[in-house]
């Protein structure tokens, strides 16, 4: 097996199709080299080697040593320098690179190949001793940090002291001699902390770095990242070894990161940052404030330091040509790292850029409109779940806000929550159901779990491409970074904002609002407004609607939810849970009277009070949904849910209903169930107390007739019976509904079309779907209950242990979130087949939570359901997922 793949100097052993083998970075370096872009020569050690490394107890086979020697020779041949040569040394960078970018892993070691001898050679060749010694001290510091994992604070400290000794502020003020002394101190520090001297043999340096990259694959934070992002542990990482180019060789050198389009907004404008006379990580680390790439961006930000376009017009022009070429080649927005060494441009990385949902949408639509990709490709490009970010409210521009300070708008969206100062607290608070804003001086990969748990992220340091900004954008969390007025004391759980006499204090638990679109940080919770759903969103949705086969409905029961659902494009109501209406206002009293009644007559008297209220609800809903199908489910939950639970409540209810507290308590005790999920609920209520369903059916039909008269357009009620297990149950309930319909139509002197159907949410119903279909004009799969009853896992208690099940790979994902296709899915598929066997035109839908989950929707497409129904905010997600499933 070949483990080493070369690139550069006209050679490319791989290309962009080889991501699994070479990792994303390695594959794209090879690709760039093969299309003639200026890439420093190098080689990639494949991910297969990583796997083998672990299989063989963290050791390298001898054959690898030979192959790596060949790789080094390749670089030497092109550069004319030799690795370890004291006169003209070759220096390399070593970087990790998995199939997908993983911020949890070891990133980069630069300047590898420097030692006490080669540093002198470098000083000679570069004609710049200061540069050589600065490179050496950077190398020791980086190597000590990422390879040897020594306390980097000690090195920072030594650097600070060196500067203070001279009264300097900037690293750049240190002279060659200062740096030489610092190198001596650094080497002593390594020996003190590591117990061995800093490796002088360049080959030892290289193998140490390679082992560190492979080792970082199994580091704790990499594992956390993989778990959060569903990345399999057996993929492994590749290692990229590449000739160094220097952005810190004076004023004609620079280094930068860029996106070919704006990753926050998607605007078609180059976007990025660069630093003159700086090396790689300086830009990301936020130590010096980077400069803008384009003049337009600089002017928009009202910034002084010259943009790259102004400072280095020629190289900038070349860079712009490379951007355009890369976008046309990859047909996607690219995220790029580059270095300029003494006026010559070098490309160090390209990859598809991470972007916000807003940017993803805009870029996909723009590229399709420009003919760079097809409309179908545009549909496939946007992650449906990411739309969530766009559909949620933003800060009400009219609302008063107490602005504490302003940082960089690093990841859009608004979030409010309690302040926490560390990732573990964020995770704990979120587990308790609190919304939190994670506030850090800067974030690092160790904070990922806290960033995930937080509603928003705020940092005092770091630019638009800092760790916090990049990770937050990827996760879709609003983020404000680089809010320099914050001084954070995480240990004391407090921060100060501002300086002088006007500073203010914010403590853990105080409420903060951040706006990741403007950078504003506000004290207290600021009210929000609904998002704009036009423009690119509307365009992509239109394309999606044209290709999808599945209809998309909403689960909604209030007129407001119904309106939201329609705005989001719902084509009907898939589930109106009528019980939610029973709790509103004065109705709960009538509901309780109904439950407490001793006789049918007593129940009917209470139901008569509810009838006009239910009818009014349905009228409102039908008016919003006019002409569209509306599935209305008859009462489902166990009756005890409507009774009071606390002493004070009992007294209130007694006063309101005129029933004694004693009697109330007796009835509550009678209604108590050991397992209410499997108790007296669903159609079992209708079987025992048909008058309840009769009242509801009457309310539905009366409302339908009223709306038909008013609007001239009849709604299409689909009356749904819950928790059916047998044909006979449905037959009885259908008779109740049909009788109510006949009575209402006779009174009203006209008829409207309606359907009667059932939920399939019990395994027996799925098994007997063939004969149930004889009574049902439609099935709606209630996958919440069907999951709980098929798995024998209570949906209310599952959260306590399901995460362990997912961690151990028993279920790939939480089966209450994403359909257990193998198990529950088989029941659904079978029920659909059997139902169609009896009634070929039976309407089939799904209304459990899964109706809004893209993977579950894909399954619904494969078995040919007619529609999915999701909560209003997930309707657009479902529309896009349904389109992707149909492609
Ligand atoms: C279901 O069980 O999937 C369903 C939609 O009903 P509910 O969640 O109301 O039980
Ligand atoms: Mg149910």
Among 42, 48, 50, which residue's Cα sits nearest to residue 25? 42
Give 220 or 731, the one with higher predicted confidence.
Answer: 731
Q: How far apart are CA 430 and CA 451, in angstroms?
A: 11
594-603 CB contacts, 8 Å cutoff, 24+ apart? 594/692, 595/639, 595/642, 595/643, 595/667, 595/671, 596/657, 596/659, 596/663, 596/664, 596/667, 600/689, 600/691, 603/689, 603/691, 603/692
List the alpha helices (DSSP H) in 278-422.
281-285, 295-300, 308-311, 313-330, 357-369, 375-381, 388-391
Nearest CA to ligand 1 atom 4: 782
Is the pLDDT at 671 greater than 90, yes or no? no
Q: How far apart are CA 194 and CA 314, in angstroms?
A: 46
Q: Are 455 and 437 in contact (CB under 8 A)?
A: yes
Residue 589 — φ and ψ, nearest 5°? -65, -45
Token duo for residue 71: 């790789």
Contacts of 178 (CB under 8 A, 6+ apart): 162, 166
- Report CA-CA distances (Å) from 411 to 167, 565, 776: 38, 27, 49
Dmax (CA) for the chain in angstroms is 105
247-275: pLDDT as tens digits: 988 899 999 999 999 998 899 999 999 99
Is the pLDDT at 297 greater than 60, yes or no? yes
726-758 residues labelled b (16+ CB within 10 A) or e (exposed): bbebbebbbebbeebbeebbeebeebbebbbbb
Give 165 or 492, the one with higher predicted confidence.
Answer: 492
Q: Ligand 1 atom closest to Cα of 847?
A: 5
**Per-residue model confidence (pLDDT) at position 391:** 78
Q: Ligand 1 atom closest to Cα of 850?
A: 3
Beta strands at 334-341 and 254-259: parallel, antiparallel or unpaired: antiparallel
Q: Ligand 1 atom closest to Cα of 783?
A: 3
Displacement of CA 271 from its chain's centroid (Å):
23
Give 477 or 787, the one with higher predicted confidence.
Answer: 787
Best probe residue, ligand 1, of 757, 785, 787, 820 (max atoms within 8 Å of C-beta): 785
Q: How far apart are CA 349 and CA 236, in angstroms?
A: 20
Q: Are 403 and 526 in contact (CB under 8 A)?
A: no
Best probe residue, ligand 1, of 784, 790, 793 (max atoms within 8 Å of C-beta): 784
| CA torsion, ordered 544, 548, 553, 554, to nearest 10 deg | -40
Q: How far apart are CA 636 and CA 632, in angstroms?
A: 11
Other CB atoms within a 10 A radius of the CB of residue 631 amount to: 26
SS3 335: strand
Q: Ligand 1 atom closest to Cα of 722?
A: 6
Q: How far is the CA of 553 from the centre of ligand 1 (A)?
A: 15
Nearest CA to ligand 1 atom 1: 782
Q: Phi-psi region for residue 682, left (φ > 0), alpha (ψ -120 to 50) or beta?
A: left
Beta strands at 520-523 and 402-406: parallel, antiparallel or unpaired: antiparallel
SS3 438: strand
Least confident interval from 168-177, 235-244, 823-832: 168-177
User: What ligand has the least distance to the C-alpha of 781?
Assistant: 1
Nearest CA to ligand 1 atom 6: 782
Q: Phi-psi region for residue 84, left (φ > 0), alpha (ψ -120 to 50) or beta?
A: left
Q: How far is the CA of 849 from the centre of ligand 2 (A)?
A: 10
Q: Are 384 and 856 in contact (CB under 8 A)?
A: no
pLDDT-derived band at 287 (thresholds 50, 70, 90) equals low
Is the pLDDT at 419 greater than 80, yes or no? yes
Domains of the chain plus CATH, in order, are 49-243 (3.30.1490.20), 254-355 (3.30.470.20), 400-526 (3.50.30.10), 535-886 (3.20.20.60)
Q: How far apart are CA 33 and CA 786, in angstroms?
A: 54
Q: How far is the CA of 756 from the centre of ligand 2 (A)?
A: 17
pLDDT-derived band at 285 (thresholds 50, 70, 90) equals low
State the average pLDDT over residues 466-478: 76
Q: Are 845 and 575 in contact (CB under 8 A)?
A: no
**Per-residue model confidence (pLDDT) at position 106:** 75
pLDDT-derived band at 474 (thresholds 50, 70, 90) equals low
Q: How far is the CA of 848 from the centre of ligand 1 (A)?
A: 5
Mean pLDDT of the chain: 92
**Per-residue model confidence (pLDDT) at position 581:** 83
Q: How far is the CA of 391 from the centre of ligand 1 (A)?
A: 24
Best probe residue, ligand 1, of 782, 786, 798, 818 (max atoms within 8 Å of C-beta): 782
**Per-residue model confidence (pLDDT) at position 727:** 98
End-to-end CA distance of the chain: 37
User: What ligand has the least distance to the C-alpha of 723?
Assistant: 2
What is the gyration radius of the CA atoms in the chain, in angstroms? Answer: 33
**Per-residue model confidence (pLDDT) at position 642:** 87
State the average pLDDT over residues 819-838: 98
DSSP assignment string, 521-590: EEES---EEPPP--HHHHHHHHHHHHH--SEEEEE--SHHHHHHHHHTT--SEEEEETHHHHTSTTHHHH
Nearest CA to ligand 1 atom 9: 577
pLDDT-derived band at 471 (thresholds 50, 70, 90) equals confident
**Per-residue model confidence (pLDDT) at position 845:** 98
Is the pLDDT at 289 greater than 80, yes or no? no
Token duo for residue 72: 């080094």
Q: How far is the CA of 787 from the centre of ligand 1 (A)?
A: 10
pTM: 0.80
DSSP assignment string, 755-771: EEEEEE-SHHHHHTHHH
Q: Are 264 and 516 in contact (CB under 8 A)?
A: no
Q: How far apart are CA 462 and CA 449, in angstroms?
A: 19
Please name the residue that has the structure tokens 């994303």: 24
Pocket of ligand 1 (CB under 6 A): 575, 577, 636, 761, 782-785, 847-848
Q: How far apart are CA 355 and CA 264, in angstroms?
A: 6
**Per-residue model confidence (pLDDT) at position 820:** 97
Q: How far apart are CA 358 and CA 264, in angstroms?
A: 7
Is the pLDDT at 830 greater than 60, yes or no? yes
The β-bridge partners of 6 are: 43
State the average pLDDT over residues 197-215: 96
User: What ligand has the least distance to the C-alpha of 782?
Assistant: 1
Q: How far apart are CA 36 and CA 30, in angstroms?
A: 10
Residues acting as catalytic residues: 467, 847
Q: Ligand 1 atom closest to Cα of 555?
A: 5
Among 367, 339, 211, which residue's Cα sits nearest to residue 278? 339
Q: How far is the CA of 788 from the centre of ligand 1 (A)?
A: 10
Q: How far apart are CA 880 and CA 388, in angstroms?
A: 12
How much of the chain is helix, strand and coil, in % rounded to 5?
Answer: 50, 20, 35
Q: Ligand 1 atom closest to Cα of 784?
A: 3
Token duo for residue 763: 């395994």
Q: How far is the CA of 717 from the centre of ligand 1 (A)?
A: 19
535-591: pLDDT as tens digits: 899 999 999 999 999 999 999 988 888 998 999 999 999 999 998 888 776 788 899
State the average pLDDT over residues 767-788: 97
User: What ligand has the least distance to the C-alpha of 577?
Assistant: 1
Other CB atoms within a 10 A radius of the CB of residue 174 amount to: 22
Is the pLDDT at 525 greater than 90, yes or no? yes
708-734: pLDDT as tens digits: 999 888 889 999 999 999 999 999 999
Contacts of 210 (CB under 8 A, 6+ apart): 45, 60, 68, 94, 239, 241
Is the pLDDT at 309 greater than 60, yes or no? yes
Q: How far is the CA of 819 from the centre of ligand 2 (A)?
A: 15
**Per-residue model confidence (pLDDT) at position 802:** 84
Q: How far is the CA of 501 from the centre of ligand 1 (A)?
A: 57
Is the pLDDT at 465 greater than 70, yes or no? no
Q: Ligand 1 atom closest to Cα of 575?
A: 5
Best probe residue, ligand 1, of 636, 828, 853 (max atoms within 8 Å of C-beta): 636
Nearest CA to ligand 1 atom 8: 784
Asked if the interface predicted TM-score (ipTM) of this complex is over 0.90, the answer is yes
Q: How far apart are CA 15 and CA 44, in angstroms?
A: 11
Please name the residue that has the structure tokens 């140490």: 208
pLDDT-derived band at 191 (thresholds 50, 70, 90) equals very high
Nearest CA to ligand 1 atom 10: 785
**How many residues can be counted in the chain?**
887
The Cα angle at residue 885 between residues 882 and 887, in degrees rounded to 5: 115
> Going edge to edge, which strands form the sheet with 344-352?
291-292, 271-276, 254-259, 334-341, 344-352
Q: Ligand 1 atom closest to Cα of 785?
A: 2
Residue 269 — φ and ψ, nearest 5°? -145, 140
SS3 142: helix
């Amino acid at each position: 097996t070949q483990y080493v793949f070369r690139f550069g100097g006209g050679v490319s052993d791989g290309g962009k199709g080889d991501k699994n083998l070479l990792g994303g970075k390695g594959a794209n370096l090879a690709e760039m080299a093969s299309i003639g872009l200026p890439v420093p020569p190098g080689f990639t050690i494949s991910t297969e080697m990583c796997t083998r490394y672990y299989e063989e107890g963290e050791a390298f086979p001898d054959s690898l040593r030979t192959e790596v020697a060949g790789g080094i020779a390749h670089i030497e041949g092109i550069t004319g320098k030799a690795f370890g040569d004291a006169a003209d040394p070759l220096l390399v960078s070593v970087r990790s690179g998995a199939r997908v970018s993983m911020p949890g892993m070891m990133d980069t070691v630069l300047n590898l190949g420097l030692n006490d001898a080669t540093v002198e050679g470098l000083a000679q060749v570069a004609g710049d001793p200061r540069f050589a010694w600065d490179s050496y001290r950077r190398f020791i510091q980086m190597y000590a940090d990422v390879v040897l994992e020594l306390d980097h604070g000690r090195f920072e400290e030594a650097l600070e002291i060196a500067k203070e000794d001279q009264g300097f502020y900037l690293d750049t003020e240190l002279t060659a001699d200062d740096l030489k002394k610092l190198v001596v101190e650094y080497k002593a520090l390594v020996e003190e902390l590591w117990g061995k001297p800093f490796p002088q043999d360049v080959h030892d340096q290289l193998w140490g770095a390679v082992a560190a990259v492979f080792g970082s694959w199994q580091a704790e934070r990499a594992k956390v990242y993989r778990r959060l992002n569903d990345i399999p542990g057996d993929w492994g990482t590749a290692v990229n070894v590449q000739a160094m180019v220097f952005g810190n060789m004076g004023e004609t050198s620079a280094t930068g990161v860029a996106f070919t389009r704006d990753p926050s907004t998607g605007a078609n404008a180059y976007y990025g940052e660069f630093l003159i006379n700086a090396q790689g990580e300086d830009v990301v680390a936020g130590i010096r404030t980077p400069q803008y790439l384009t003049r337009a961006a600089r002017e928009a930000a009202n910034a002084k330091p010259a943009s790259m376009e102004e400072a280095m017009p020629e190289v900038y022009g070349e860079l712009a040509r490379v951007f355009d070429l890369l976008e046309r080649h990859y047909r996607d927005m690219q995220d790029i790292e580059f270095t300029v060494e003494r006026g010559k441009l070098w490309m160090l990385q390209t990859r598809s850029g991470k972007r916000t949902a807003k940017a993803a949408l805009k870029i996909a639509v723009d590229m399709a409109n420009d003919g760079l990709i097809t409309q179908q490709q545009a549909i496939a490009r946007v992650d449906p779940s990411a739309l969530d970010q766009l559909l949620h409210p933003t800060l009400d521009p009219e609302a008063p806000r107490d602005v504490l300070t302003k940082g960089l708008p690093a990841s859009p969206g608004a979030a409010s929550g309690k302040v926490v100062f560390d990732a573990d607290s964020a995770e704990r608070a979120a587990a308790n159901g609190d919304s939190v804003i994670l506030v850090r001086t800067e974030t690092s990969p160790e904070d990922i779990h806290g960033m995930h748990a937080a509603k928003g992220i705020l940092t005092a340091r770091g630019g638009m491409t800092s760790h916090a900004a990049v990770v937050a954008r990827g996760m879709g969390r609003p983020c404000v970074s680089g809010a320099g007025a914050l001084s954070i004391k995480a240990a004391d759980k407090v921060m100060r904002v501002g300086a002088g006499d006007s500073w203010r204090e914010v403590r853990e638990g105080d409420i903060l609002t951040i706006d990741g679109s403007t950078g504003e940080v506000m004290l207290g919770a600021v009210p929000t407004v609904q998002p704009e759903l036009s423009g690119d969103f509307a365009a992509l949705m239109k394309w999606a609607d044209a290709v999808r086969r599945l209809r998309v409905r909403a689960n909604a029961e209030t007129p407001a939810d119904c309106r939201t659902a329609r705005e989001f494009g719902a084509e009907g109501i898939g589930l109106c849970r009528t019980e939610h209406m029973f709790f509103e206002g004065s109705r709960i009293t009538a509901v309780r009277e109904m439950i407490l009644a001793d006789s049918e007559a007593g129940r009917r008297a209470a139901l008569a009070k509810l009838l006009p209220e239910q009818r009014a609800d349905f009228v409102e809903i039908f008016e919003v949904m006019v002409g569209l199908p509306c599935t209305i489910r008859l009462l489902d939950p166990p009756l005890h849910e409507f009774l009071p639970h606390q002493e004070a409540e009992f007294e209130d209810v007694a006063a309101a209903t005129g029933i004694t507290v004693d009697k109330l308590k007796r009835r509550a005790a009678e209604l108590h169930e050991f397992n209410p999920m499997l108790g007296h609920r669903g159609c079992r209520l209708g079987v025992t107390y048909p008058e309840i369903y009769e009242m509801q059916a009457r309310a539905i039909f009366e409302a339908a007739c009223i709306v038909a008269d008013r609007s001239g357009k009849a709604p299409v009620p689909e009356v749904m019976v819950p928790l059916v297990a047998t044909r006979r149950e449905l037959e009885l309930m259908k008779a109740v509904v049909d009788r109510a319909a006949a009575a209402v139509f006779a009174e009203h002197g006209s008829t409207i079309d309606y359907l009667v159907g059932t939920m399939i949410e019990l395994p027996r119903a799925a098994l007997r779907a063939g004969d149930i279909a004889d009574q049902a004009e439609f099935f709606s799969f209630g996958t919440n209950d069907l999951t709980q009853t098929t798995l024998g896992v209570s949906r209310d208690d599952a959260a306590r242990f399901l995460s362990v099940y997912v961690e151990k790979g028993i279920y790939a994902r939480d089966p209450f979130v994403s359909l257990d296709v193998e198990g529950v899915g088989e029941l659904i598929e079978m029920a659909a087949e059997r139902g169609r066997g009896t009634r070929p035109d039976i309407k089939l839908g799904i209304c459990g939570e899964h109706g809004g989950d893209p993977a579950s929707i894909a399954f619904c497409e494969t078995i040919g359901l007619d529609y999915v129904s999701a909560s209003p905010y997930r309707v657009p997600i479902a529309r896009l997922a349904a389109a992707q499933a149909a492609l």
